[in-house]
Copies of this chain bind each other. A is one copy, B any other.
Amino acid sequence: MKRVVIVGMGFGGLRAARALAGKGLEVVLLDRQNYHLFQPLLYQVATAALEQESIAYPIRTMARRWRGTRFRLCEVTGADLEGRRVVTTDGAVDYDYLMLAAGCVTNFFGMESIERHAYDLKELDHAVDLRNRLFCSLELAAEEPAPERRRMLLTFVVVGGGPTGVEFAGALAELVRYLVPADYAELRGDVIRILLIEAGERLLPDLPKELQAYALDRLEEMGVEVLLATRVIGAEPGLVLLQDGTKIGAHTLFWAAGTCAVPLAAALNLPKANGGRIAVQPDLTVAGHPEVFVVGDMAYLEQAGQPLPMVAQVAMQGGEYAARAILKRERGEAVAPFSYWDKGIMAAIGRNAAVVYSFGIKLSGFFAWLVWLGLHIFYLIGFRNRLLVLLDWAYCYLFHERQIRLITRSGKESPCR
């Protein structure tokens, strides 16, 4: 029986595994986590709207229903493409087909000071770290007598005007708006600053101008200070440095200004494009290795002169395409090139406020927000997660309450000091 090894159980790997199951192939799933993570909602874990457990789903529970599939918890560190085997922290695994779908990590563009001091949001633990940091900032500020240090503790800098930066800034503004007056009497006279800094000329660059303007207006209405055409070039403890020489005193720096392929991509002797992504053929294989597919954020492919975006939809469609391509190849059928079907893009800004751009239709406001809610629930894995997220959202919406605001791990590595 031929063996397909899938590296990474994100959106791409998951769709591929599902499509390959029960089709007479042996499918081996490799991931360094034992769960699939619904990354688009990480920012809600970071802002205490959702518990971490509700956006993750055990891989083995999914694989239970997939005949011929097994899972191994390990990290893939390299591959011998000629010998058709991947190298993992737990030994080598041979393959007949390989699907690389390990996603991306945050790109700090070589700025070490930012990498050292900034928070990012790619993994579940990142969200918990950031949540701990936010609530520690408030606790520290509540006890801080020196006005300058207090201002620094209450300044939150978000870098990157893409969906992650916009959604996080909006969620943080809402958190602060309702929570601080209720629970932090000590901070009632203070101004809490949330800065959203974007190097480009506008927020949400992939959206039409009206929706960009709507997002900007809403964020500013919610108290977020948006700085466009502004570049962050470094950080020190409690300080964010801008290219024009300005220094912003800020205890928390969240970096959502770029992504690049996971380190595994660099370990493979394959042609790379922008952000270390692996340049693939129109059928998502790598040149000279028709048995090696790369899907999702790890792959670089242009369509209609534009590189495919690093979004969940590309990964899902790529995973499904690659699975079908393998099955066709096995049956001796020809495989047409991958064609990405863009279903649209969206971002939530806050309560009753989102933007959706799909098939030329532009939506903003309450209805867009409902669409955003519905689609996120739909794409979540598992009935339990869907129910939990719905309840959490209803709870937040009705009671303006963020009860999950726990500062964990403060015993071992206190994020407060």
Contact = CB atoms under 8 A, between A and B. Distances in A.
A406 B183 contact: no
A57 B403 contact: yes
B182 A408 contact: no
Contact of A411 (B123, B403, B408, B412): B123
A216 to B, nearest CB: 32
The 7 closest A-B pairs by CB, nearest first: A51-B53, A60-B183, A73-B139, A34-B407, A53-B404, A35-B406, A51-B51
Interface in A402-417: 403-412, 416-417
Interface residues on A, range: 35 or more
Given A73-B416, A125-B408, A395 B384 contact: yes
A33 B136 CA distance: 11
A64 interface: yes
A76 interface: no
Contacts of A89: 417
B56 A406 contact: yes
Contacts of A404: 53
Q: Copy number in this complex?
A: 2
Given A90-B143, A125-B411, A408-B125, A387 B391 contact: yes
Interface of A: 32-35, 51-54, 56-58, 60-61, 63-64, 70, 72-74, 89-90, 123-125, 128, 135-136, 139, 142-143, 182-186, 382, 384-385, 387-388, 391, 395, 401, 403-412, 416-417
B183 A61 contact: yes
A408 B32 contact: no
Contacts of A123: 411
A125 to B, nearest CB: 6
A330 to B, nearest CB: 24
26 contacts: A32-B410, A33-B407, A34-B407, A35-B407, A52-B406, A52-B408, A53-B404, A56-B406, A58-B183, A58-B403, A58-B406, A60-B183, A60-B184, A61-B401, A63-B183, A64-B182, A72-B142, A73-B143, A89-B417, A123-B411, A125-B408, A125-B409, A128-B408, A382-B403, A384-B403, A385-B403
A90 B414 CA distance: 13
Contacts of A52: 51, 53, 406, 408
Contacts of A387: 391
A45 to B, nearest CB: 10
Given A51-B54, A382-B403, A34 B186 contact: no
Contact of A32 (B35, B403, B411): B411
Given A53-B406, A72-B139, 15 more contacts: A34-B410, A53-B404, A58-B405, A60-B184, A70-B185, A72-B143, A73-B136, A73-B139, A90-B143, A125-B409, A125-B411, A382-B403, A384-B401, A385-B403, A391-B391
